């Protein structure tokens, strides 16, 4: 009986994370289309519901109710499994994201490594979808995505080492508490924060790095053969990853749930949400402002610019901290 109650409590905690996340994904798409419409001097969604507020629900219902088309030449089991894997991995990353000092599903001491491991697995869902579709466009999109995500995970890993050197812990809650006691890491590590944000764009296949699903060459890339629920799962997975990387930016560099400028306002989830919305706005703004990179430019940026820069910052940060007061560990 006690075990059953514990399982029920864990299930309720998981639902308390997943349900708001899915609602956030739905309305992030609406906000993105509204912001893009304003930047491009058009209205955006404004017909379904008051000010278009029911548009995400209408889009979701349309995708769920549509007929699922399975290509005759596809490997059907893997074809169906790939979007489900992508969707699942986008959800389980949230287990270690702290919204305040007590609101986190699992307070792992190796929280950053956990997120890094899950993001590395995300490559598989995309590349096997490209292979299972038995389409040249999908296969090329899957290969592009695998190369792109692996390339920028290297620089992200080196960037996270700088945070480890400052704080001396991989626990996300301890990283936020350290910033509350000292300084937001986005200030001394501002160039690193910019590199992390750009790498997040590449890791989530967002413009201007949306080469895996480039409409001009690959129609829709790895998801070209997907429709209905399969496409919806890829779509939700992509936007859930965007919110997760934005949350990670807030936790690592912007003080997490801490209030800015020393304001004594005890609303931790409010401050976390405000910072998260600001980072998400940057994702949308970049999409509206910058043209798509060529693939050779994308790979050159990752391997010839970000990799040596992030490695150099690790050496520089370790040297400065050692000369000042010794490393924290």
Amino acid 82: pLDDT: 87
Amino acid 252: pLDDT: 92
**Residues 9-36, mean pLDDT to the nearest whole number:** 87
Q: In this structure, are residues 244 and 94 in contact, taking their beta carbons and an 8 Å threshold?
A: yes
Q: How far apart are CA 84 and CA 259, in angstroms?
A: 37
pLDDT in tens, 284-316: 999 888 888 888 888 899 899 999 999 999 999
Is the pTM above the cut of 0.75?
yes
Sign of CA dihedral 299, 301, 305, 306: negative
- Which region among 105-119, 209-223, 262-276, 305-319 has the lowest average model confidence (pLDDT)? 209-223
Under the banding of pLDDT at 50, 70 and 90, the label for residue 191 is very high
Q: How far apart are CA 217 and CA 220, in angstroms?
A: 9
Under the banding of pLDDT at 50, 70 and 90, the label for residue 216 is low
Q: Which residues contact 156 (CB under 8 A, 6 or more apart)?
A: 116, 196, 199, 200, 203
Q: How far apart are CA 59 and CA 62, in angstroms?
A: 5
Amino acid 183: pLDDT: 85
Burial group, residue 51, by CB count within 10 angstroms (0-12, 13-18, 19+): middle
pLDDT in tens, 80-98: 888 888 888 888 888 888 8
Under the banding of pLDDT at 50, 70 and 90, the label for residue 190 is very high
Amino acid 194: pLDDT: 93
The total number of residues written for the chain in this structure = 329
Q: How many CA atoms lie within 13 A of 111 on its CB side?
A: 25
Q: How far apart are CA 185 and CA 192, in angstroms?
A: 9
Torsion of CA 99, 102, 108, 114, to 10 degrees: -10
CA angle at 157 for the pair 156 and 158, rounded to the nearest 5°: 90
Amino acid 276: pLDDT: 92
Q: Give CA 101 to chain center in angstroms.
A: 22
Q: How far apart are CA 35 and CA 5, in angstroms?
A: 44
**Residues 261-284, mean pLDDT to the nearest whole number:** 82
Q: Which two tokens stand for residue 5?
A: 């109650």
Q: How far apart are CA 37 and CA 121, in angstroms?
A: 34
Q: In this structure, are residues 279 and 250 in contact, taking their beta carbons and an 8 Å threshold?
A: yes
């Amino acid at each position: 009986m006690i075990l059953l109650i514990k399982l029920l409590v864990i299930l309720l905690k998981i639902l308390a994370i997943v349900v708001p996340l899915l609602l956030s994904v739905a309305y992030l798409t609406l906000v993105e289309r509204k912001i893009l419409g304003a930047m491009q001097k058009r209205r955006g969604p404004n017909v379904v519901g008051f000010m278009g507020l029911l548009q995400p629900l209408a889009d979701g219902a349309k995708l769920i109710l549509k007929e699922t088309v399975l290509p005759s030449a596809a490997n059907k089991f893997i074809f169906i499994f790939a979007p489900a894997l992508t969707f699942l991995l986008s959800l389980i990353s949230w287990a270690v994201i702290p919204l305040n000092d007590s609101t986190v599903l699992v307070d792992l001491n190796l929280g950053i490594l956990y997120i890094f491991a899950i993001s590395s697995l995300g490559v598989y869902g995309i590349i096997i979808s490209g292979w299972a579709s038995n389409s040249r466009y999908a296969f090329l999109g899957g290969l592009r995505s695998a190369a792109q995500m692996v390339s920028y995970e290297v620089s992200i890993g080196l960037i996270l080492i700088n945070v480890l050197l400052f704080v001396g812990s991989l626990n996300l809650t301890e990283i936020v508490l350290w910033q509350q006691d000292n300084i937001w890491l986005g200030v001394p590590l501002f160039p690193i924060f910019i590199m992390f944000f750009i790498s997040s764009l590449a890791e989530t296949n967002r413009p201007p790095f949306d080469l895996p699903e480039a409409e001009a060459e690959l129609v829709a890339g790895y998801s070209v053969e997907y429709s209905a629920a399969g496409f919806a799962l890829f779509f939700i997975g992509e936007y859930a990853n965007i919110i997760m990387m934005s949350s990670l930016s807030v936790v690592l560099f912007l003080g997490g749930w801490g209030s800015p400028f020393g304001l004594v306002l005890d609303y931790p989830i409010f401050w976390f949400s405000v910072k998260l919305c600001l980072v998400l706005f940057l994702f949308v703004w970049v999409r509206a402002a910058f043209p798509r990179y060529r693939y050779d430019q994308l790979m050159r940026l990752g391997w010839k610019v970000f990799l040596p820069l992030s490695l150099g910052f690790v050496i520089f940060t370790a040297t400065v901290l050692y000369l000042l007061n010794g490393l924290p560990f």
